[in-house]
Chains A and B, each alone.
Chain A
Amino acid sequence: MWNQARAIVWAQWKTVRNHIPRSNKAALIFSGVLLAVWYAGFGFLALLAGFFLAKPDEVEFVHRVLPTVLLICLLYWQVIPILMASTGSALDIKKLLVYPIPHRELFTLEVLLRVSTGVEMLLLLAGAGVGLLLNPRVPFWAPWTLAFFVAFNLLCSAGIRDLLARLLARKRVREITTLLFVLAAALPQLMLLGGFQKQLRRVFSSEASPLWLWTAAARLAQGEFSWSNAAVVLAWTAAAYFFGRWQFERGLAFDFAEAAAKSAPRGRTASRLDWFYRLPNAVLPDPLAALIEKELRFLSRAPRFRLVFLMGFSFGILIWFPMAFGGQGRTAHSLVGDNYLTFVSVYALLLLSDSLFWNVFGFDRSAAQVYFLVPVKISTVLVGKNLTAAIFVLLDISAVALVCILLRLPITGLRVLEALAVTLVITTFLVAIGNISSLYNPRGVNPVKSFRTAAGARMQAMLMLLFPVSLAPVALAYLARYAFESEWAFFGVLLFGAALAGVAYWFSMESAVKAAERRKEQIIQALSQGDGLIQS
């Protein structure tokens, strides 16, 4: 029993080991350092949690905060992957379904892979568990009950992932699903706005209903045993198991090709958008216009890109709204409120960055070799991809501005101009960095899969390091506005930032062109490679 599961893990290990010597060492070290910094931060938090929870005289404090901590862990585990459009590692079921593997083995592996979306929370919970174990006032058995909480999160996350994968495979359902998830993710914020602060605060406090998993799990973990607490924890875990298994079985029987065919665009829709695809031909010569037209057509049809584009303005608007105007009316002044459009636009950039900047040849996969075969300069190809990125960024900002106007938010022409200028400066920095990273660390991306499978932590760590670099000149502009209380100072510094971005873009283009020539073979090979048994 479990021979096949062991073989899958062995083959995946071989896949990773075989891949490492051939991958870009610098990129590997860079990504390793980023991950180390990211996890070290959570490791430190885990140490702090352990330190506090080990103190015998802090039992009252622990009683108050532990349910809240567990609720935050649960939300992070289940919601952050959706907000980042990244579902972590998962089995490549299509490749494994042809073999006689019992479904329960596949399901167990799939559930264990959900660790990839919550390693940070596992670290925290491990720290908390060790702290409670060392606390002499907590019985020895109690902290081990946190294992049920972990199991619940793994099973629930597996179920949500399978459910999302199926829902997002259908075009029209995908858009509705995204909207529903937007609403679900923004529910706490909307509750705050709707005057439900008291109820929401209660859910997050130690006074929350004992029927909630986090309350019952926290009480058990502190040694407050009661049959009702145990029953609540077991019931939630069992419900998560049935939900996860049900969704997994439905996922196995689901035909993605059939779903895609059912939602294929009809003739009328295709011709309606044709004018948009052909716009570059009106102002640009070939081959640049042809390249941009191809990118516009391709990205507009790629489910993965469509999802992040849609999330860019829908999620962004809802998530930042309560922070900007929550409870104080739309005319109230706050940092986020005064710069609402800019905040939402930069958040949209963050979501779009993986598709438009970091890995521009990813969607082309093995077809990227065409760029090296046709008589077109690689710099022209990159400019084409960068201009396409700019077009989509402009469209996203326009959509954000339009929604803001429709919602009658206090958005002035100057604010729109500011958001536009700020976003374009950041975009120029991002494409400059992205052109280099696309050629030094290319990887094939399946455009049909709506959610990224890349581990969320790697993506978050990348953003943590690269975004601040790109944001620095803009931050200086805001500092100038604050220091001199002058719009002229702001736009002046921003103009300087734009000039810097231009220089960075020029240098990166030089370097990218040389890298493309030098690394042609590696780039084509890297983009042609398929996934292993586990997509990560």
Chain B
Amino acid sequence: MFSAISLHNLRKLYGAKAAVDGLDLEVPRGSFFGFLGPNGAGKTTTIRMLMGLAPPTSGTIELLNLPMPERALEVKGKIGLVPDESLLFDHLTGLEFTEFVGRMYGLARPKARERSKELLALFELDGDPRKLIGDYSKGMRKRVAMAAALIHRPELFLLDEPFEGVDAVGARLMKEILLEQVRHGATVFLTSHVLEVVERLCDRVAIIHEGKLVLTGTMAELRTGSETLEDVFVRVVGADRPAESLDWL
């Protein structure tokens, strides 16, 4: 099987605590892969390691059959990112930001500008061309990040909560674009807390809990009977905690 992402015994320690603890994961090429887990499970740390922002303590990472960090430059050129918001530039307009990202991926300036205009029109961000990203709403920030992720037609998308704060129309558009990219052979690796969205979009899912992989497989393999993905998730991460009532509330 040709893997888009291949992780072997990946570990990341923060002090004595393991944020990611011996993660083995194969994401097949051309799949729409959902990476799930409760808060603090290690999803963002994993994505940060895939992006090259945090070096793993041990273990190996291969993206598109290229080892990281040895072939980092080559790998990064083939990846589209929707990172957390801190990686956006608040003082640039949407057009300037997407053009900048295009040029970072090696597009010539006129080409980057042309594609930026088209993408912003597609994501309905071309209304006020002088508006700075710092003045965007949360949903608009996610949309501009998605536009920037598409500009160089990547083979692999790493998306951290891409639909967070996006309105229904924008989310529908983003989903359609991503599904179209997968149909054309791209791979999507996304984290999300909206399990209904993951259930509808993803063909494969992995659930991580306390840094360890607790479940992985196709959607059909995971669900038994009439179980929803939410039922599976709650069952696997053991969320049936004692409900302590607060007298004053």
* Contact A94/B87 with A7-B104, A528-B134 known, Cβ cut-off 8 Å: yes
Q: Which of A18, A95, A99 contacts B91 (CB 8 A)?
A: A18
Q: Judging by beta carbons under 8 Å apart, are A261 and B90 in contact?
A: no
Interface majority SS (helix, strand, loop, mixed), chain A = helix
Q: Which positions 1-40 of chain B face chain A at CB distance < 8 Å?
A: 12-15, 17
Q: Report A-chain residues with C-beta under 8 Å of the C-beta of B89.
A: 11, 15, 95, 530, 532-533
Q: Which of B14, B55, B97, B134 contacts A262 (CB 8 A)?
A: B14
Q: A286 to B13, alpha carbons, bound, how many Å?
A: 41
Q: Judging by beta carbons under 8 Å apart, are B91 and A98 in contact?
A: no
Q: Judging by beta carbons under 8 Å apart, are B101 and A99 in contact?
A: yes
Q: Report A-chain residues with C-beta under 8 Å of the C-beta of B87.
A: 94-95, 98
* Contact A100/B55 with A257-B14, A258-B13, A262-B14 known, Cβ cut-off 8 Å: no
Q: Judging by beta carbons under 8 Å apart, are B73 and A11 in contact?
A: no
Q: Judging by beta carbons under 8 Å apart, are B51 and A261 in contact?
A: no
Nearest chain B residue, comparing its CB with the CB of A255:
B54
Nearest chain A residue, comparing its CB with the CB of B130:
A18
Which range holds the interface residue count of chain B? 35 or more
* Contact A261/B73 with A19-B91, A98-B53, A532-B89 known, Cβ cut-off 8 Å: no
Minimum CB–CB distance for A250 against chain B, Å? 11
Q: Judging by beta carbons under 8 Å apart, are A100 and B90 in contact?
A: no
Q: Report B-chain residues with C-beta under 8 Å of the C-beta of A261.
A: 14-15, 17
Q: Judging by beta carbons under 8 Å apart, are B73 and A102 in contact?
A: yes
Q: Judging by beta carbons under 8 Å apart, are A529 and B51 in contact?
A: no
Q: Report A-chain residues with C-beta under 8 Å of the C-beta of B54.
A: 255, 257-258
The answer to the question of B117 belonging to the interface, with a C-beta cut-off of 8 Å to chain A, is no
The answer to the question of B179 belonging to the interface, with a C-beta cut-off of 8 Å to chain A, is no
Mask for B66-89, Cβ within 8 A of A = 1, else 0?
000000111111000101001111
Q: A532 to B72, alpha carbons, bound, how many Å?
A: 24
The answer to the question of B105 belonging to the interface, with a C-beta cut-off of 8 Å to chain A, is yes
Q: A531 to B92, alpha carbons, bound, how many Å?
A: 11
The answer to the question of B62 belonging to the interface, with a C-beta cut-off of 8 Å to chain A, is no
The answer to the question of B232 belonging to the interface, with a C-beta cut-off of 8 Å to chain A, is no
Q: A490 to B120, alpha carbons, bound, how many Å?
A: 68
The answer to the question of B139 belonging to the interface, with a C-beta cut-off of 8 Å to chain A, is no
The answer to the question of B93 belonging to the interface, with a C-beta cut-off of 8 Å to chain A, is yes
Q: A147 to B116, alpha carbons, bound, how many Å?
A: 41
Among A16, A258, A533, which residue has the most Cβ atoms of chain B within 10 A? A258
Minimum CB–CB distance for B155 against chain A, Å? 13
Q: A99 to B15, alpha carbons, bound, how many Å?
A: 28
Q: A253 to B52, alpha carbons, bound, how many Å?
A: 9
Nearest chain B residue, comparing its CB with the CB of A19:
B91
Q: A532 to B92, alpha carbons, bound, how many Å?
A: 8
Q: Judging by beta carbons under 8 Å apart, are A98 and B100 in contact?
A: no
Q: Judging by beta carbons under 8 Å apart, are A10 and B100 in contact?
A: yes
* Contact A4/B53 with A95-B87, A100-B73 known, Cβ cut-off 8 Å: no
* Contact A3/B106 with A10-B100, A94-B87, A98-B76 known, Cβ cut-off 8 Å: yes
Nearest chain B residue, comparing its CB with the CB of A96:
B104
Nearest chain A residue, comparing its CB with the CB of B134:
A529
Residues of A within 8 A of B (CB-CB), count: 34
Q: A532 to B103, alpha carbons, bound, how many Å?
A: 17
Q: Judging by beta carbons under 8 Å apart, are B15 and A264 in contact?
A: yes
The answer to the question of A300 belonging to the interface, with a C-beta cut-off of 8 Å to chain B, is no
* Contact A15/B73 with A255-B54, A258-B13, A262-B15 known, Cβ cut-off 8 Å: no
Mask for B34-68, Cβ within 8 A of A = 1, else 0?
00000000000000000111110000000000000
Q: Report B-chain residues with C-beta under 8 Å of the C-beta of A180.
A: none
Q: Judging by beta carbons under 8 Å apart, are A101 and B104 in contact?
A: yes
Nearest chain A residue, comparing its CB with the CB of B13:
A258
Q: Which of A11, A97, A531 contacts B52 (CB 8 A)?
A: A97
Minimum CB–CB distance for A251 against chain B, Å? 12
The answer to the question of A14 belonging to the interface, with a C-beta cut-off of 8 Å to chain B, is yes
Q: A531 to B91, alpha carbons, bound, how many Å?
A: 8
Minimum CB–CB distance for B73 against chain A, Å? 5
Q: A404 to B190, alpha carbons, bound, how many Å?
A: 59
Mask for A10-38, Cβ within 8 A of B = 1, else 0?
11001110110010000000000000000
* Contact A15/B55 with A258-B14, A262-B14, A530-B86 known, Cβ cut-off 8 Å: no
Q: A18 to B97, alpha carbons, bound, how many Å?
A: 12
Q: A19 to B90, alpha carbons, bound, how many Å?
A: 10
The answer to the question of B195 belonging to the interface, with a C-beta cut-off of 8 Å to chain A, is no
Q: A47 to B7, alpha carbons, bound, how many Å?
A: 62
* Contact A100/B106 with A14-B92, A257-B54, A530-B134 known, Cβ cut-off 8 Å: yes
Q: A472 to B51, alpha carbons, bound, how many Å?
A: 54
Minimum CB–CB distance for B165 against chain A, Å? 15
Q: A101 to B89, alpha carbons, bound, how many Å?
A: 17
Minimum CB–CB distance for A99 against chain B, Å? 4
Q: A427 to B9, alpha carbons, bound, how many Å?
A: 56
Minimum CB–CB distance for B134 against chain A, Å? 5
The answer to the question of B171 belonging to the interface, with a C-beta cut-off of 8 Å to chain A, is no
Mask for A74-101, Cβ within 8 A of B = 1, else 0?
0000000000000000000011111111
Q: Judging by beta carbons under 8 Å apart, are B92 and A99 in contact?
A: no
Q: A255 to B54, alpha carbons, bound, how many Å?
A: 6
The answer to the question of A525 belonging to the interface, with a C-beta cut-off of 8 Å to chain B, is yes
Q: Judging by beta carbons under 8 Å apart, are B52 and A18 in contact?
A: no
Q: Report A-chain residues with C-beta under 8 Å of the C-beta of B52.
A: 97-98
Q: Which of B12, B83, B88 contacts A530 (CB 8 A)?
A: B88
Q: Judging by beta carbons under 8 Å apart, are A94 and B53 in contact?
A: yes
Q: Report A-chain residues with C-beta under 8 Å of the C-beta of B134.
A: 525, 528-530
Q: A450 to B203, alpha carbons, bound, how many Å?
A: 46
Q: Report B-chain residues with C-beta under 8 Å of the C-beta of A264.
A: 15
Q: Report A-chain residues with C-beta under 8 Å of the C-beta of B96.
A: 11, 14, 18
Q: Report A-chain residues with C-beta under 8 Å of the C-beta of B15.
A: 258, 261-262, 264
Among B12, B73, B103, which residue has the most Cβ atoms of chain A within 10 A? B103
Q: A264 to B13, alpha carbons, bound, how many Å?
A: 13
The answer to the question of B132 belonging to the interface, with a C-beta cut-off of 8 Å to chain A, is yes
Q: Judging by beta carbons under 8 Å apart, are B77 and A98 in contact?
A: no
Q: A102 to B134, alpha carbons, bound, how many Å?
A: 28
**The 9 A-B residue pairs with the shortest CB-CB distance in the complex, in nearest-first order:** A261-B14, A7-B103, A100-B76, A99-B104, A100-B77, A15-B91, A261-B15, A11-B100, A530-B90
Q: List 24 A-B contacts (CB under 8 A).
A: A4-B104, A4-B106, A14-B96, A15-B89, A19-B91, A95-B87, A95-B89, A97-B52, A98-B81, A98-B83, A98-B87, A99-B104, A100-B72, A100-B105, A100-B106, A253-B55, A255-B54, A258-B14, A261-B14, A261-B17, A264-B15, A525-B134, A529-B91, A530-B88
Q: Could you tell me which A residues sit within 8 Å of B by CB distance?
A: 3-4, 7, 10-11, 14-16, 18-19, 22, 94-102, 253, 255, 257-258, 261-262, 264, 525, 528-533
- Other contacts beyond A11-B100, A98-B52, A100-B72: 6, CB < 8 A: A4-B104, A16-B91, A18-B93, A99-B105, A530-B86, A531-B90
